[in-house]
Chains A and B, each alone.
Chain A
Amino acid sequence: MQRQNKKNLLKTYAVLLLAALLLSNCSNRKAIDVEDSIRDPSAENDSLIQVNPMIPEAVRMLLLEADESISQGQGSQAIMTLKRALSISPNSALVQQHLAEAYLTEADYQEALYWSSLVVNQGPDQGELCERSRRTQALAAELMGRIDIQATALESLISCSTRKPARF
């Protein structure tokens, strides 16, 4: 009887520990190092020719300014700069991706998921931006506990560097 009680007590402790771990994971919103996790320079990309998206010079300046802010740990400043860029080029997948990454650094996973999903759905399906958007989407989804979205994003990552058959 005593042994049974001990067993039950241990079980309770185990459940509590697991719950505490899960809860701590939920509440511990960590900032992400975008350079390391998303723009990984070691990532090989043998996709089609890398094309620099056509964006106005003003937007390019704002992207540099936002990157500078992020490197100085001023994520919210970067977000405002990127929103300004977005008001100039609302369709730019590059700006949208930067915004997703800035939100990721600010641990705002919901916004990061929203903007990266926009790039995944409407942005390029080949190349670096394609990969970055899917990595961002996967990471944001993971941190929000959306394993289904994470899995889909990771599965589609490979398609960004898959050569498509020639159409002629």
Chain B
Amino acid sequence: MTGLLVPWYFYINYITDTIVQDKWDVPSVAYARPLELYQGLALSPEALVFELDLLGYRATNKKPQSGQYQFANNSFIIHSKGFQFPDLNSPAQIISLSIKNNQLASVSPPLARLEPHIIGRFYTSDFENRLPIDLAAIPDTMIRGLQAVEDRDFKNHHGVSWFGILRAAVKNLLAGEVVQGGSTITQQLVKNKLSYNQNSLLRKAHEAMAASILETKMSKAEILESYFNEVYWGQEGKAAVHGVVEAAQFYFAKPVSQLSIAEQALLIGIIKGPSWYNPYRQTKRALLRRDVVLKVWLDTGVIDTEQYQISKQSALGLSKSRQLKTDFDDFMDVVRKQINSQFSLSDLRRDGLRIFTTMDPYVQFKTTQTARQTRAWLDDTVESAILVSGTNTGELVAVSGSQSAASQYNRALLAKRQIGSLIKPLVYLAGLELLPNFDLQTQLQDAPLTVTTQDQKTWQPKNWDGKSMGAISAMDALIYSRNQATVELGMRITLTKFIGFLQQVGLQVQRNRHPALFLGAMELTPFEVQHVFGLFSSRGGKQYVNSIRYVTDQNNQVLSRSQQSTNHQISVESIDAINRAMHLITTAGTARKLTTNFQLSGPLFGKTGTTNAGKDSWYVGFDRRYLATVWVGRDDNKATPYSGSSGALVLWGHLFKNL
């Protein structure tokens, strides 16, 4: 028994420590990539002016001072501000440069860099996207009102209210089910950290123990402050609303300090069950709950009679739209995810970290603009997600998770969708790697075939045009995205070996899958797709899409990160062969629109993907600078009129036309 109690105690102690250390005194700052200026850099005057404006530089006609620039006849004189980079201190300096044909023709000094733009801040060590608020900034009625409703004995207990538990136990016993929790504010705060789904005795014991320990580590005021910053206040789509700052924005589009008594009461009221009392969906129920809270406040002296009468008469006054995202928010989601997986927890708990990301603000701006046009170029029911990274480096430069700035759901990172024909380059790559005597000139049969599945059913794949081309080369089968020929090749490889191959390139696929896997019957997020195609764009060099270059502490010391080994062991020759086919797809195949309609120059490589009834429209492609994945579809997974080439490819074409 002791053997279990000791680790249990340490676990609980650890949980309480994370709550105590959760807030930093000095927030961590995330930076975009610094713009390197050197001869030969592809850069338009428009892009440079965008960057300078973003960094707060001012145009001048006189000799520029620090933070100013002069621009005339495609020549710039910039007086930089200086910056302490992780590798060296760049002092403020004069940079003279000229641009010809969207390329830096001359730069003096020959290598200079501008300071990076701040794209976000993290205020808590769990890197959640929350702006914390001090207790002093929260209205007094709300602070006292929370205690009146949730935990009247808060000032006196030591984390657990035995009287509260007894009262709840009696009520639950009489009701024959759990109708009242009896948790204190401290216990509720702990509950946010412990992820349990049901009301079990073990969870209650955990909470009680942790709450008691927490009360020895934090003052009552600190506990209240953490509570207001942590507590779960509802859901917008798949994005959770945490903390009073976000809740005030979500429900009322207001800062906390400007909430009326009635609005405060509604927020306090819905803590009990944000879904049950969801004011958008259950208006009457939410109104009743608010009035109950107002009555409690009146009875406990939080508000006076006049305030009660005015508040009770007021409507809910909910906001119609949530705060809009900035251009950088979707990228910051990736940074948040990767920083936790690549760096040690103890390092990340330090104050004032500086996170140097790979984001290119200009490409991000163009990507966001492209996403916002989704419904102008396509119909008004579809959503989109776009990711852009360096062709060779695997460095993520831009992300858009929606066509709308109002949507908080980052589809680029979270939406798992069927990938359709995007799988085909991997099927042919597997063929090159696993089958002896197979190359892209090998003849395949694009003809009707019947496959017996594991559950002894028969499956007859068809081509998108309902026709069969007969004997064709593997190259043509890939260029023209022929399903029957691809399945024929897949059956030669075998499903088991193909699944093993997908794991080799970093995709986790369940075993016992259907042969429809050869046609892309698997779900990936756009981010995972970007990762897979990075294998092709970097010719096998980079297997991971990465958003962070360095993280330094306050002393400018670089934190060490976990290794990301590349173990795919796929030959460059095989990858090059697939890339040749993907190039022909952009000139003669399903993505030829890029060269015929959009008239994009330079060698392009890519693959379209469409799933049944246009539920998902994909295009992934790269040129010598950027690799981009575009997904278009509906959130409810219903049909759209778009294929890969009539949907996602349109956004991709516009984006690359403007980069």
Interface residues of A (CB under 8 A from B): 56-59, 61-62, 76-77, 80-81, 83-84, 86-88, 90-91, 110-111, 114, 118, 121-122
Contacts and interface: CB of A to CB of B under 8 A. Distances in A.
B558 A76 contact: yes
A59 B38 CA distance: 9
B86 A121 contact: no
Given A121-B540, A121-B572, A58 B38 contact: yes
B39 A80 contact: no
Contacts of B87: 77, 80-81, 84
B33 interface: yes
Contacts of B392: 90-91
Given A56-B39, A61-B111, A111 B539 contact: no
Contact of A114 (B38, B549, B566): B566
A111 B563 contact: yes
B566 A57 contact: no
A58 B540 contact: no
14 contacts: A56-B40, A57-B38, A58-B111, A80-B558, A84-B36, A84-B87, A87-B33, A88-B36, A90-B391, A90-B393, A91-B392, A111-B563, A114-B566, A121-B539
B313 interface: no
Given A62-B111, A77-B87, A87 B540 contact: no
Nearest to A92: B392
Contacts of B343: none
A113 to B, nearest CB: 9
Contacts of B39: 56-58
A91 B549 CA distance: 18
B565 A87 contact: no
A114 B558 contact: no
Interface in B91-119: 110-111
A81 B515 CA distance: 48
B565 A58 contact: no
A90 B110 CA distance: 18
B110 A61 contact: yes
B41 to A, nearest CB: 8
Nearest to B113: A84
Nearest to B563: A110
A122 B576 CA distance: 11
Interface in B384-422: 390-393, 395
B541 interface: yes
A68 to B, nearest CB: 12
Contact of B393 (A58, A59, A62, A87): A87
A110 B110 CA distance: 33
Contact of A57 (B110, B390, B393, B541): B110
A110 B566 CA distance: 10
B36 A86 contact: no
Contacts of B549: 83
Contacts, number: 53
Nearest to A110: B563
Nearest to A117: B566
Contacts of A59: 38
Q: Which 10 A-B pairs have the closest CB atoms?
A: A58-B38, A80-B87, A58-B111, A90-B392, A90-B393, A121-B572, A118-B541, A56-B40, A57-B110, A91-B392
| A58, A80, A83: residue with the most chain B Cβ atoms closer than 10 Å | A58
Nearest to B38: A58
A80 B85 CA distance: 10
B50 interface: no
Interface in B559-609: 563, 565-566, 572
A80 B550 CA distance: 9
A87 B539 contact: no
Interface residues of B, number: 25
A58 B36 contact: yes
Interface of B: 33, 36, 38-41, 86-87, 110-111, 390-393, 395, 539-541, 549-550, 558, 563, 565-566, 572
Contacts of A58: 36, 38-39, 110-111
Contacts of B86: 80
A86 B550 contact: no
A39 to B, nearest CB: 23
Contacts of B393: 86-87, 90
A86 B36 CA distance: 11
A114 B565 CA distance: 8
B536 to A, nearest CB: 13
Nearest to A62: B111
A83 B550 CA distance: 10
B535 to A, nearest CB: 13
Contacts of A83: 549
Given A90-B391, A90-B393, A121-B541, 12 more contacts: A56-B40, A57-B38, A58-B111, A61-B110, A80-B550, A81-B87, A86-B393, A91-B392, A114-B565, A118-B541, A121-B539, A121-B540
Nearest to B395: A87
A123 to B, nearest CB: 11
Given A80-B558, A81-B87, A90-B390, A110 B38 contact: no
Contacts of A88: 36, 38, 41
B567 to A, nearest CB: 10
Given A58-B111, A62-B111, A122-B541, A87 B36 contact: yes
Contacts of B541: 118, 121-122
Nearest to B358: A87
A91 B540 CA distance: 12
A13 B393 CA distance: 51
Contacts of B38: 56-59, 88
B361 to A, nearest CB: 15
A76 B539 CA distance: 27
A77 B541 CA distance: 23
B550 to A, nearest CB: 7
Contacts of A91: 392
A91 B625 CA distance: 11
Contacts of A77: 87
Nearest to B37: A58
Contacts of B563: 110-111
A91 B539 CA distance: 11
A118 B395 CA distance: 17
A86 B657 CA distance: 26
A118 to B, nearest CB: 5
Nearest to A80: B87
Nearest to B573: A121
Nearest to B565: A110
Contacts of A122: 539-541, 572
B564 to A, nearest CB: 9
A77 B89 CA distance: 12
A110 B563 CA distance: 8
A58 B39 CA distance: 8
Contacts of A87: 33, 36, 393, 395
A42 B392 CA distance: 34
A83 B88 CA distance: 13
A118 B36 CA distance: 24
A88 B625 CA distance: 11
Contacts of A76: 558
B493 to A, nearest CB: 24
A137 B505 CA distance: 22
A62 B393 CA distance: 18
B113 to A, nearest CB: 8
A138 B212 CA distance: 58
A86 B33 CA distance: 13
